[in-house]
């Protein structure tokens, strides 16, 4: 594996949140957070088995080739963003997590792909009547199980988990290419994180979808790490390399249909890591990494899978989280 340089939301309600965020917050009933995210003794013990990776921006990319997509899959289901999938992935040695973030009707951040009708059957949930479609309240979201068994997670609960597990890095997926909306969501992310543990902000990695997202998001908070993902834009190779390099963004994520060895090499020459999404086949992962890709987003592959299938695998750094 190559080693690169180490560097450095709806409508009126949303507008109200932006104009008077703290006053608005006081109008929303407080919700009790799920302590199981924080107090699991097994997870807490594991957390301190490895050092925190929060001090050096992008250090995680040198050590962790796997990013848990939507907090990792569980029970054969991808994309649950659930408590159980988070715990499973963490126990399996994953330390870098990507999660979907949306806003509830009462203004809270929660982990869910979106509120459209098509997402309900994917999550094993009953599609609401058309007049009821749209964001749930936080209370309803928390009460609606995923696949009839898995626990939905609010953003604040995830922050509490990160506070208790200082080796966890979080990549956001807000799915908002519009810069005004992106900035709006990140104001909520910064506010909710600060209300739990401001130090966790150092380990939150915004995922950008268009070039103008960078100025919008960095204007909200001086994040030290970013990911530029390509599935929502049609930037050329040269445009991507120039933008990422100019703004010291050291990780680019692309789909397989945008991968070329030339693209990866051009990024590499500027000290930029390439990750591919979403790959669940160990053989494919190995082939990509042998061609210069730093790692992948994955639903089900865990570090031990790479360790078991390491023959002919040019791994120049230790796969973190897996004992030798």
**Which tokens go with 56?**
């050096």
The pLDDT profile of the chain, 324 residues, written as one tens digit per residue, is 544 444 344 443 443 433 333 332 332 333 334 455 555 555 544 444 444 445 589 999 999 999 999 999 999 999 999 999 999 999 999 999 999 999 999 999 999 999 999 999 999 999 999 878 999 999 999 999 999 999 999 999 999 999 999 999 999 999 999 999 999 999 999 999 999 999 999 999 999 999 999 999 999 999 999 999 999 999 999 999 999 999 999 999 999 999 999 999 999 999 999 999 999 999 999 999 999 999 999 999 999 999 886 554 444 443 344 333
Report which DSSP code applies to 257: G
pTM of the model: 0.82
**Where does the chain show beta strands of DSSP type E?**
66-68, 96-100, 102-103, 109-110, 169-173, 204-205, 207-208, 227-229, 251-255, 273-277, 295-298
Q: How many CB atoms lie within 10 A of CB 283?
A: 9
Closest CA to 77 of 144, 148, 142: 148
If one counts every other C-beta atom within 10 angstroms of the C-beta of residue 66, the result is: 27
Domains of the chain: 12-308 (3.20.20.190)
Write the DSSP assignment of 168-232 as a string of letters: -EEEEE----SHHHHHHHHHHHHHHHHHH-GGGGGGEEPEESSHHHHHHHHTT---S--EEE-TT
């Amino acid at each position: 594996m190559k080693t690169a340089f180490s560097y450095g939301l709806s409508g009126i309600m949303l507008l109200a949140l932006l104009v008077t965020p703290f006053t608005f917050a006081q109008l929303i009933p407080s919700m009790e957070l799920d302590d199981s995210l924080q107090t699991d003794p097994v997870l807490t013990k594991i957390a301190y088995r490895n050092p925190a990776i929060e001090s050096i921006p992008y250090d995680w990319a040198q050590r962790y080739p796997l990013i848990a997509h939507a907090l990792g899959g569980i029970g054969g289901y991808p994309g649950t963003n659930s408590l159980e999938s988070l715990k499973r992935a963490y126990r399996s040695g994953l330390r870098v997590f990507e999660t979907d973030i949306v806003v509830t009707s009462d203004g809270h951040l929660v982990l869910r792909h979106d509120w459209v009708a098509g997402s309900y059957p994917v999550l094993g949930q009953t599609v609401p009547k058309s007049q009821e479609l749209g964001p749930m309240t936080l209370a309803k979201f928390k009460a609606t199980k995923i696949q009839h068994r898995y626990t939905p997670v609010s953003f604040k609960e995830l922050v509490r988990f990160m506070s208790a597990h200082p080796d966890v890095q979080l990549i956001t997926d807000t799915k908002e290419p519009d810069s005004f909306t992106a900035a709006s969501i990140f104001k909520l992310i910064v506010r909710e994180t600060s209300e739990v543990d401001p130090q966790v902000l150092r380990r939150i990695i915004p995922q950008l979808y268009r070039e103008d997202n960078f100025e919008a998001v960095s204007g909200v908070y001086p994040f030290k790490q970013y990911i530029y993902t390509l599935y929502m834009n049609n930037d050329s190779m040269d445009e991507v390399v120039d933008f990422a390099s100019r703004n010291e963004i050291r990780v680019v994520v692309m789909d397989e249909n945008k991968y070329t060895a030339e693209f990866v090499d051009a990024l590499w020459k500027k000290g930029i890591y390439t990750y591919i999404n979403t790959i669940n086949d160990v053989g494919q992962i190995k082939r990509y990494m042998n061609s210069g890709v730093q790692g992948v987003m994955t639903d089900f592959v865990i570090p031990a899978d790479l360790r078991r299938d390491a023959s002919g695998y040019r791994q120049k750094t230790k796969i973190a989280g897996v004992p030798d």
